[in-house]
């Protein structure tokens, strides 16, 4: 592993933040390409260990993977830089979209361009999944675990923590091949783990306590609610979106159901983690309740409550990842989780593809089966055409990801404006 300069770090992780469309599967694909394939910054093994580790944590796994990889390269400051650059581009786009949405509504042109971007993301995900599977699945049991991960989530809708726990237990019982792993010394850690927890836990919670004590009821409610989500969100934002929607609409009454649907659609189409929907909800609520000042304050509180815990988890636990990997049995448990994660990413990919091409889905239930299936009458022909065009565009641009996204965004706009657009 090489040690990039701060300028290189800023450039590459800024690029990752700008290109991180399409949810965790696509974001992991972008990071793999930038950090493993295009540059010798991380080995395949280190990347996969970090990915498996982040899948075990609550919160947005892709943002935490960016933070972890930054920490691996330049310690705490590197992790902070990488994590912020992963979030801030999307946060800036969300802020602008909230303002435009409040003024003009659903912004059809923006949605048309983002539909083309989503089609490109389908190709990016599938390409990365093929490469990751080729590296992580080296044994029949690895393939079985990947199949288990996909089936458990896609076919049976099992709780994500249970799936990961089952994989880890399988790895613990598996005989290590080739002895213990090789430890890679991480950057030196400043202070003890307890000190790290105290510092980052204090940074996370103290502002929320102050909001409560000063009587900022609306902002305090935002902070505490989204902090609770940060603790219980295992398996990515999709696992809690229904709960978020129900709570902010029915319990708090911050926005209505139509606005929540629009928030999910726009957050899904912007760069950065999907959990940025919390920022959209907070900023729109603040704008409706109190104008520009509350709009900005609510967005800041939502971002703080959502992402500060991620830095706490990473900086407290990251120093132990390589030690775990070097331990024979614990290392095999982590390898089992890595294999299962390939199936998890396949599940996310299938979920994303279905929701790009179809406006509605339903759950087919038969015994213990709970399979998400598309409602065929809700097929979006424009989206389907763009998904078919995306592989051709990817072949034409020869791996230039930014060019692919721009080309497909233009295709989305062109098809939408075509006089005889598909319908």
> Domain residues for 156?
89-423
What's the domain count of the chain? 1
8 Å CB contact between 354 and 384: no
Residue 218 belongs to a domain: yes
* Confidence at residue 302, expressed as pLDDT on a 0 to 100 scale: 94
- pLDDT tens sequence across 48-90: 889 888 888 888 888 999 999 999 999 999 999 999 999 999 8
Quote the longest CA-to-CA distance of the chain: 65
CA distance 421 to 355: 20
Of 140, 302, 172, 165, the residue nearest 230 (C-alpha): 302
Residue 59 belongs to a domain: no
Residue of higher predicted confidence among 6 and 346:
6
Residue of higher predicted confidence among 15 and 25:
15
Residues 6+ away with beta carbon under 8 Å from 72: 1, 42, 46, 50, 78, 186, 187, 318
For the ranges 146-150, 176-180, 282-286, 322-326, the lowest mean pLDDT is seen at 176-180
Q: Which string of DSSP letters, residue by residue, matches 126-160? A: HHHHHHHHHHH--SHHHHHHHHHHHIIIIIT---H
Inform me whether the pLDDT recorded for 422 exceeds 90. no
CA distance 305 to 293: 18
- pLDDT tens sequence across 331-354: 888 888 888 878 877 887 787 788
Which of 178-192, 195-209, 246-260 reaches the highest mean pLDDT? 195-209
**Is the model's pTM score more than 0.95?**
no
Inform me whether the pLDDT recorded for 237 exceeds 70. no
Place of tokens 């910054």: 41
Residue 282 belongs to a domain: yes
8 Å CB contact between 374 and 354: yes
Mean pLDDT within 263-278: 77
Inform me whether the pLDDT recorded for 359 exceeds 80. yes
Q: How confident is the model at residue 16 (pLDDT cuts 50, 70, 90)?
A: very high
Inform me whether the pLDDT recorded for 420 exceeds 60. no
Report the percent of the chain where pLDDT is more than 70.
Answer: 90
Share the mean pLDDT of the chain.
Answer: 84
Inform me whether the pLDDT recorded for 239 exceeds 50. yes
Residue 303 belongs to a domain: yes
* Confidence at residue 2, expressed as pLDDT on a 0 to 100 scale: 65
* Confidence at residue 77, expressed as pLDDT on a 0 to 100 scale: 95
For residue 111, what are its two tokens? 């949605």
Q: How confident is the model at residue 242 (pLDDT cuts 50, 70, 90)?
A: low
- pLDDT tens sequence across 381-410: 999 999 999 999 989 988 777 788 889 889
* Confidence at residue 181, expressed as pLDDT on a 0 to 100 scale: 47
CA distance 176 to 181: 9
Residue 352 belongs to a domain: yes
Residue 138 belongs to a domain: yes
């Amino acid at each position: 592993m090489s040690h990039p300069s701060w300028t290189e770090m800023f450039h590459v992780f800024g690029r990752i933040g700008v290109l991180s469309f399409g949810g965790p599967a696509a974001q992991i694909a972008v990071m793999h390409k930038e950090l493993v394939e295009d540059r010798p910054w991380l080995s395949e093994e280190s990347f996969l260990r970090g990915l498996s580790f982040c899948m075990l944590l609550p919160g947005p796994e892709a943002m935490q993977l960016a933070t972890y990889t930054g920490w691996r390269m330049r310690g705490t400051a590197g992790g902070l830089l990488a994590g912020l650059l992963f979030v801030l581009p999307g946060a800036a786009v969300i802020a602008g979209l909230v303002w435009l949405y409040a003024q003009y509504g659903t912004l059809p042109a923006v949605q048309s361009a983002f539909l083309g971007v989503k089609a490109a993301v389908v190709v990016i995900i599938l390409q990365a999944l093929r490469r990751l599977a080729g590296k992580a699945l080296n044994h029949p049991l690895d393939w079985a675990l990947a199949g288990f991960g996909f089936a458990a989530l896609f076919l049976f809708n099992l709780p994500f923590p249970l799936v990961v726990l089952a994989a880890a237990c399988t790895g613990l019982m598996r005989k290590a091949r080739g002895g213990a792993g090789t430890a890679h010394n991480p950057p030196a850690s400043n202070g003890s783990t307890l000190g790290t927890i105290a510092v980052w836990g204090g940074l996370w919670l103290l502002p929320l306590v102050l909001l409560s004590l000063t009587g900022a009821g609306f902002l305090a409610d935002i902070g505490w609610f989204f902090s609770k989500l940060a603790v219980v969100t295992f398996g990515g934002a999709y696992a809690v979106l229904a709960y978020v929607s129900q709570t902010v609409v029915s319990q708090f009454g911050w926005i209505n159901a139509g606005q929540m649907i629009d928030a999910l659609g726009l957050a899904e189409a912007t760069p950065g983690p999907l959990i940025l929907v919390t920022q959209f909800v907070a900023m729109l609520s603040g704008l409706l309740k109190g104008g520009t000042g509350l709009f900005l304050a609510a967005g800041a509180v939502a971002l703080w409550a959502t992402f500060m815990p991620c830095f706490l988890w990473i900086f407290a636990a990251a120093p132990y990842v390589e030690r775990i990997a070097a331990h024979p049995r614990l290392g095999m448990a982590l390898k089992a989780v890595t294999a299962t994660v390939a199936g998890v990413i396949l599940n996310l990919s299938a979920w994303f593809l279905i929701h790009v091409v179809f406006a509605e889905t339903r759950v087919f239930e038969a015994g213990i089966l709970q399979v998400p299936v598309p409602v065929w009458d809700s097929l979006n022909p424009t989206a389907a055409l763009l998904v078919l065009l995306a592989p051709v565009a990817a072949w034409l641009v020869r791996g230039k990801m930014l060019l692919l996204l721009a080309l497909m965004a233009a295709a989305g706009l062109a098809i939408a404006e075509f006089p005889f657009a598909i319908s």
